[in-house]
Structure 1
């Protein structure tokens, strides 16, 4: 039955091993990127997975920039998980821009704005912040 349906079609060719091997090789080469895509679909707010994705595109600055842009648009800081790494500060230090690194660290360690504090206070208070009487 299958031969009748596929008769004369290139998928019915008995010598399509090269094509199948090429497809397998392509999938194996793209495996890290595909696995990372699945992980980001499961939790798009995982900062570590976004940083791993950037590392996957090492050597392709355009894809790295696109990935950072997509990450900034996607990750909600209130839902972010994973270790937020100070890569920007490290980059500033490597380029001997000590003033820029200091400004970034000040911004990162500054007290949240009144708007952010109100938003957090309006949500249910986590158990960790409750004190016993």
Structure 2
């Protein structure tokens, strides 16, 4: 149980960092003038924690990555839509389309980052294995 709790806290902190960064970037480029309420910030921080916990789905060994990916994508998008609905005073269909475009862009950026980090780790491990084999 302690291992799971540590993992949840670790993921929550990563989610807070990533979520805060993208939240502030979105506010910076979309809202003029930018004003942020405590209510809004707390909703988006909670949303970021939930989204980071959704990554635990990928630890499931019974399902393939390609079957988990759409589940993760859908859960994440629903969480974003729900948070925006609860936070924004008026949330129209146009806002949902705009949210989807921004969400898709952020989702792609994050997944490219994860892919590059995983590739770097794999290359490092392969380098270590090659060095041990040569010795």
Between structures 1 and 2, the one with greater helix share:
2
Fold match by TM threshold 0.5: no
Structure of larger gyration radius: 1
